[in-house]
Amino acid sequence: GSGTLWALDPAQLDSPTVLATGLKNAYAHVFDANGRLWITEIGDGSVTGADFEGQPPEELNLVIPGADYGWPQCFGDQEPALNRDGTPEVCARTQPPAALFNPQSTPTGIAISPWDEDVLLVARWLGQEVTAVAIHMENGRIVGETRPFIVGFGNPQHLLALPDQTLLVSDYREGVIYKVEQEQ
């Protein structure tokens, strides 16, 4: 089925609100300086219609209250999952992702860049890199342009931007935490 993101008010715990639906494996989360929630989705599992041996791409999504992100009928950039009753009409009504990553690259960590608040940094476990995603508006839609930021990790897992404008990157395979500083 589809994953649902709930909003809970501590004063009214018996009345949760549905924030978003249609999520699959919404793994990493971060709030930006404007209070917007960004999440990564790990799109494992095969879908008919996916280009990469039936594997859907991984996603970066900006959470819009009330939005449907499409799973299980849709994946990627509003593509129908033909083996899950997806149709172009259904998928056209879903919220498109801000950015896509290669299938099975497993985005497990996310942080706002300590050097540029318009750039998200995403740890990609099987991609063995931290990817920079520059966020901007394009035709009324928030989109992200991806580029490798740091490559050569074993399995980067978590990211933490620190107030001193450095970034911590945990590497599960190597069993270390790296501290990244901006070049002077």
Number of domains into which the chain is organized:
1
In degrees and rounded to multiples of 5, residue 17 shows phi and psi of -115, 135
Q: Percentage of the chain with pLDDT > 90?
A: 85
Domain of 15, CATH number, reads 2.120.10.30
Q: Along the chain (184 residues), what's the average pLDDT of each consecutive run of 10 residues?
A: 86 93 94 96 80 85 97 93 93 98 95 98 97 95 96 97 98 97 87
In degrees and rounded to multiples of 5, residue 103 shows phi and psi of -55, 145
The pLDDT value recorded for residue 43 is 82
Task: Annotate 119-156 with b (16+ C-beta within 10 A) or e (fewer).
Answer: bbbbbbbbbbbbbbbebeeeeeebbbebeebbeebebb
Torsion angle in degrees (nearest 10) through CA of 91, 92, 97, 99: 100
Helix, strand, or coil here: 106? coil
The pLDDT value recorded for residue 1 is 54
Q: What is the Rg, in whole angstroms, of the alpha carbon atoms belonging to the chain?
A: 17
Query: Cβ(74)–Cβ(81) under 8 Å?
Result: yes
The pLDDT value recorded for residue 107 is 96
The pLDDT value recorded for residue 130 is 98
- Which three-class secondary structure string do you get for 18-80? EEEEEECCEEEEEECCCCCEEEEECCCCCCCCCCECCECCEEEEECCCCEECCCCCEECCCEE
- Whole-model pTM? 0.93
Domain limits at 10? 3-181
